[in-house]
Chain A
Amino acid sequence: MTMHELAIAESIVEAVCERAAGRKVHRVTVRIGALTAVVPDAMRFCFDLACEGTVADGAALAIEERAGAARCHECGAEVELADRLLLCPCGSADLTVTAGRELQIVSMEVG
């Protein structure tokens, strides 16, 4: 069991149920960056579990995945990061991550 996805799914469900104020939640859209250690498939599984017994029970989960990106301080390039290893093609490891750390609730559909 990937338990941090469950804790994160519970945080999502808690936030959307609070905002839904009793209305039925039909769909939730989240944004997950590639550098967050959150696995989309595990997230889907845990989301369904976390929704049980709430106004979001049975809600669909849409996941917008975001690739990792960084700016190199050595050569100035914007590079794509496939994983957490910070290395620019120019050889420099002096990078600032600019994308891929997103873990956000984008929107939801209620009614």
Chain B
Amino acid sequence: MCGTCGCGHHDHEEITLEQKVLAKNDRLAEENRRLLAERGITAINLMSSPGSGKTTLLERTIRDLHTTRPVAVIEGDQETRLDAERIRRTGAPVVQVNTGAGCHLDAAMLRDAYERLDPARGSLLFVENVGNLVCPALFDLGEAGKVVIISVTEGTDKPLKYPYMFAAADLVLVNKLDLLPYVDFDLATCREHVAAVNPKAEVIAVSATRGDHLEEWCAWLS
């Protein structure tokens, strides 16, 4: 009898695959990367927990940048079109992707949204991932850069609690700097925690509502 499944047959064939589980996603992501590069489009993947101020930051960034470069947005959320409507009011082209039960965007979803959006050549394309600090880190979309946003209301230890996400980041934005006097958040400690999981990541502390240090963020984007 077969030792593996007890089925009574001996003719099972062992097939060696030795392939990455996410090989298909990675292949699609590489196609996206090539397609975006051909059209001079820079895609930035924005990831955070819910409520960190991603959409507010985007609204402000679009207003600050739209005169220098076309800006377009792909909004990922499990449900609703609320965020896309907020972005639409800034005048930037936007499409919403609802992932339903899914907790992240993948390369195929990005491609589909990109084709519906059809951003202008040379655009800066913001991809607002689903609010979640775990899964989006695993899925390459074909973006040029990954930005993780946390806010001072979330606790200094976020980088240690969600190390995979912070390890994947090119840049960490610490938002809601205007609320710093009212909360127990130590910026220097937070920087040390980011460095502990990702020594290469840059950290910029900003306030999307008051405008603090947004020029540094815009300089990073360009």
Contacts and interface: CB of A to CB of B under 8 A. Distances in A.
Interface of A: 3-4, 7-8, 11-12, 14-16, 19-20, 23, 26-27, 30, 35-38, 60, 83-87, 93-94, 103-111
Contacts of A111: 9, 11-13
A43 B15 CA distance: 21
A108 B160 contact: no
A110 B15 contact: yes
B33 interface: no
A75 B17 CA distance: 37
A107 B17 CA distance: 5
Nearest to B200: A94
A15 B102 CA distance: 19
Contacts of A103: 20-22, 138
B101 to A, nearest CB: 7
Question: Most chain-A Cβ atoms within 10 A of its Cβ — which of B15, B20, B102?
Answer: B15
A26 B5 CA distance: 7
B23 interface: yes
Q: Is the interface of A mostly helix, strand, loop or mixed?
A: mixed
B195 A85 contact: no
Given A7-B102, A84-B164, A85-B160, A93 B195 contact: yes
Interface range, B side = 35 or more
Given A4-B104, A104-B21, A36 B197 contact: no
Given A26-B4, A84-B164, A111-B12, A3 B21 contact: no
Contacts of B7: 26
B196 A87 contact: yes
Given A3-B102, A4-B134, A85-B160, A107 B197 contact: no
B19 interface: yes
B17 A16 contact: yes
A75 B23 CA distance: 35
Contacts of B197: 84-86
Given A26-B4, A60-B4, A110 B13 contact: yes
A62 to B, nearest CB: 9
A26 B13 CA distance: 10
Given A3-B101, A7-B104, A37-B137, A14 B22 contact: no
Contacts of A20: 15
Given A3-B103, A23-B13, 5 more contacts: A4-B134, A20-B15, A37-B138, A84-B164, A104-B18
Interface in B91-139: 101-104, 106, 134-135, 137-139
A26 B6 CA distance: 10
B163 to A, nearest CB: 3
Nearest to A27: B4
A8 to B, nearest CB: 6
